């Protein structure tokens, strides 16, 4: 894990000086508008989550909190803008876990260093993913899929929302862990990727359980397993892929707020505290969006970063894939 990221974490956790002493003239922070950069287009899960949290933070702080969508390059354009912001807390970035733990290993060139240029604030929420199978695929369980796929030397296809996405790398991980060949079929977003599976044009897709639920209930797709260590409240009867026979498989999507490294640790602590409170207050709205509210503290955030960064790196190396 990056030393700078850990250094920021340890300093923030140990900070004892009052915010008023640390920030001086800015003791009444914030004194002006705060922005949340979302590195994707409006309308997606990251955007919706940012707007729920931003609205309540604005009410709490008495200052505007605006959401700025900066899509492009797998999220790297928006992330790069956040990496170049001043370390004063006025620019936050809503970063999906993949941007923090997949992109640094997938892309051959990055315009910033995740570990050196950013400071952790909190993980806002998680979105358990489910492995969906097309209704045309003759399988009902993960065991069925593995047996079927191993008899298909040309491989089974899986949809993704683009190269380097969690869907993409999870599909590669599935093939590696299940010992069968998988072929990525990329789409421009999650909606068309799911539609292709429902139509039977593609065999499999990893998608948020809440998004998948109506398709499963209407028998338009088959849920083969939850891609996490625990079952989903959305689909309590669906086993995890871990339970179903892939003990090392985990591909949970999560969304975090980060800011520029060098932000005073006392301000990081304030940001985390205020945002954690907002998550508790807005729990129902966040759940209705299909998320599991989190609010993880700095230590837990760092542990998740370290664990997932290593896991995705191993998959990318073994699968021999890399983006431009």
Closest to 253 (Cα-Cα) out of 316, 165, 158: 165
Q: Are residues 66 and 83 in the same domain?
A: yes
**pLDDT tens digits, one per residue of 241-288:** 999 999 989 999 999 999 999 999 999 999 999 999 999 999 999 998
Q: Are residues 258 and 119 in the same domain?
A: yes
The residue among 196, 223, 244 that closes a domain is 244
Taking the C-alpha atoms of residue 190 and residue 243, their distance in angstroms, rounded to an integer, is 26
What domain range includes position 12? 3-127+253-319
Is 148 within the bounds of a domain? yes
**pLDDT tens digits, one per residue of 190-237:** 889 999 999 999 999 999 998 899 999 999 999 999 998 899 988 999
Count of CB atoms situated within 10 Å of the CB of 32: 10
Q: Is the pLDDT of residue 189 over 90?
A: no
Provide the β-strand partners of residue 95: 256
The DSSP letter of residue 300 is: H
Distances (CA, A) of 96 to 23, 64, 253, 294: 29, 23, 7, 13
Distances (CA, A) of 165 to 50, 60, 169, 226, 259: 19, 34, 6, 18, 22
Contact 51, 40 (CB under 8 A): no
Q: What is the mean pLDDT of residues 6-24?
A: 49
Q: Are residues 160 and 114 in the same domain?
A: no
Is 180 within the bounds of a domain? yes
Is 324 within the bounds of a domain? no
Taking the C-alpha atoms of residue 125 and residue 45, their distance in angstroms, rounded to an integer, is 11
Q: What is the mean pLDDT of residues 40-64?
A: 93
Lowest-confidence region among 17-21, 271-275, 289-293: 17-21
**pLDDT tens digits, one per residue of 81-103:** 999 999 999 999 999 999 999 99
Is 168 within the bounds of a domain? yes
Q: Are residues 75 and 215 in the same domain?
A: no
Q: Are residues 146 and 116 in the same domain?
A: no
Contact 38, 67 (CB under 8 A): yes
The residue among 244, 268, 287 that closes a domain is 244
The DSSP letter of residue 323 is: B
CB-based contacts of 314, cutoff 8 Å, min separation 6: none
Q: Are residues 230 and 269 in the same domain?
A: no
pLDDT, position 10: 52
Is 107 within the bounds of a domain? yes
Q: Are residues 50 and 118 in the same domain?
A: yes
The DSSP letter of residue 73 is: G
Q: Are residues 122 and 66 in the same domain?
A: yes
Edge-first strand order for the sheet with 65-69 is 65-69, 34-38, 91-96, 253-260, 118-127, 292-296
Taking the C-alpha atoms of residue 80 and residue 114, their distance in angstroms, rounded to an integer, is 10
Which two three-digit tokens encode residue 51?
């707007």
In terms of phi and psi (left: phi > 0; alpha: psi -120 to 50; beta: otherwise), the region of 73 is: left
Q: Is the peptide bond before 243 cis (omega within 30 degrees of 0)?
A: no
Is 166 within the bounds of a domain? yes
User: What is the total count of domains within the chain?
Assistant: 2
């Amino acid at each position: 894990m990056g030393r700078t990221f850990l250094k920021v974490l340890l300093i923030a956790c140990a900070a004892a000086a009052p915010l008023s002493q640390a920030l001086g003239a800015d003791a009444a922070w914030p004194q002006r508008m705060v922005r949340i950069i979302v590195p994707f287009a409006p309308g997606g899960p990251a955007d919706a989550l940012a707007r729920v949290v931003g609205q309540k933070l604005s009410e709490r702080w008495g200052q505007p909190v605006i959401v700025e969508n900066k899509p492009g390059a797998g999220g790297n354009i928006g992330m790069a803008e956040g990496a170049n912001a001043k370390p004063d807390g006025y620019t936050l970035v809503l970063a999906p876990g993949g941007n923090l733990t997949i992109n640094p290993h997938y892309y051959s060139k990055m315009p910033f260093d995740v570990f050196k240029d950013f400071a952790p604030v909190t993980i806002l929420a998680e979105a358990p993913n489910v492995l969906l199978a097309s209704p045309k695929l003759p399988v009902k369980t993960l065991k069925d899929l593995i047996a079927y796929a191993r008899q298909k030397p040309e491989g089974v296809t899986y949809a993704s929302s683009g190269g380097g996405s969690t869907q993409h790398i999870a599909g590669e991980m599935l093939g590696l862990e299940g010992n069968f060949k998988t072929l990525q079929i990329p789409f421009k977003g999650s909606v068309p990727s799911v539609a292709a599976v429902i139509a039977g044009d593609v065999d499999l897709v990893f998608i948020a359980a809440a998004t998948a639920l109506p398709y499963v209930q209407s028998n338009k797709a088959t849920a083969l397993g939850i891609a996490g260590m625990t079952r989903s409240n959305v689909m309590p009867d669906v086993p995890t892929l871990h339970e179903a026979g892939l003990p090392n498989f985990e591909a949970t999507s999560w969304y975090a707020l980060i800011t520029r490294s060098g932000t005073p640790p006392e301000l990081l602590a304030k940001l985390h505290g205020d945002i954690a409170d907002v998550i508790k207050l807005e729990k129902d709205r966040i759940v209705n969006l299909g998320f599991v509210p989190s609010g993880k503290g700095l230590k837990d955030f760092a542990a998740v970063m370290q664990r997932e960064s290593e896991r995705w790196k191993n998959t990318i190396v073994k699968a021999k894939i890399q983006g431009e």
